[in-house]
Structure 1
């Protein structure tokens, strides 16, 4: 058994492809019209075809459940946030928050209210703390991770 990829249902394929490209830089790898695979392995499926696959009525396909997300990490988190500030009509779950371990994240909805999280790459979090003057040991304490994890981020 091998996990292949996540699939999300979309109401407007062209709008979704444009969103994922403009906001996250994901490109179309395979386009079968009603089914599209993007770089990173995310598959998009049109709502009308999905409802026939699972033998449900369109009205039974509900968007915006806030029960799952697609998670991305970004090396240049500040640059990504600057890019987000230039994009109109982003519907935020929340703007930037910093988790207790120091990772900054932002969450927002795609056009069909699927949650997208973009987090600062954890290696960049380690580097940010070290560049601020913390030692490896202090960084491990700050992030609540083993010292070996911090050291592995520097290799």
Structure 2
């Protein structure tokens, strides 16, 4: 079996396409009307068509659950944070935080209440630690990952 992609149900396709383009830089690779595929494989599906597929009344479909997220990594995390701060209407799950393994991340909601996480790329975390004078072994310990992974990230 092969995993295909993730799909988010959206109330307003045009607003969602604009959000994912403006905030995350994703572009439409296929527009099938009720279903849109964005760069990276993320799909958006209209509420009405999804309700029909699963044979439910649209009123039975609830938005804003806190049980999943779409995860992205950004090489230039600080520039992304500046861009995000300048956008009106961004609703944060939490402000930027540094996780125990050293990666910084921020979570916010898309227009339909789906959680989006953008994290500093692990390669960037590794570079930051190297620039601070840490050895590869110290970085592996700090990030709680195998040394071979740190060596790969450091290339």
Task: State if a TM-score over 0.5 links the two structures.
Answer: yes
- Partner residue of 1:2? 2
CA distance in structure 2 between the partners assigned to 1:78 and 1:46 by the alignment? 33
- Partner residue of 2:12? 12
2:8 is paired with a residue whose SS is strand
Is 1:150 paired with 2:137? no
- Partner residue of 1:77? 77
CA distance in structure 2 between the partners assigned to 1:45 and 1:62 by the alignment? 14
1:25-36 equivalent positions in 2, closer than 5 A: 25-36=25-36
CA distance in structure 1 between the partners assigned to 2:6 and 2:140 by the alignment? 33
- Partner residue of 2:88? 88
Aligned-residue offset at 1:146: 2.1
CA distance in structure 2 between the partners assigned to 1:52 and 1:5 by the alignment? 20
After superposition, the C-alpha distances for 1:122-146 in whole angstroms (9 at most, x for unaligned) are 0110110110111112111211222
1:153 is paired with a residue whose SS is helix
CA distance in structure 2 between the partners assigned to 1:44 and 1:108 by the alignment? 18
CA distance in structure 2 between the partners assigned to 1:142 and 1:54 by the alignment? 45
CA distance in structure 1 between the partners assigned to 2:144 and 2:28 by the alignment? 38
CA distance in structure 2 between the partners assigned to 1:54 and 1:137 by the alignment? 50
1:89-108 equivalent positions in 2, closer than 5 A: 89-108=89-108
CA distance in structure 1 between the partners assigned to 2:2 and 2:141 by the alignment? 36
1:41-56 equivalent positions in 2, closer than 5 A: 41-56=41-56
Which stretches in structure 1 are left out of the alignment for 5+ residues?
Answer: none
Q: How many residues align?
A: 155
Q: Runs of at least 4 residues of structure 1 off by over 4 A? A: none
- Partner residue of 1:40? 40
RMSD: 0.8
CA distance in structure 1 between the partners assigned to 2:7 and 2:135 by the alignment? 42
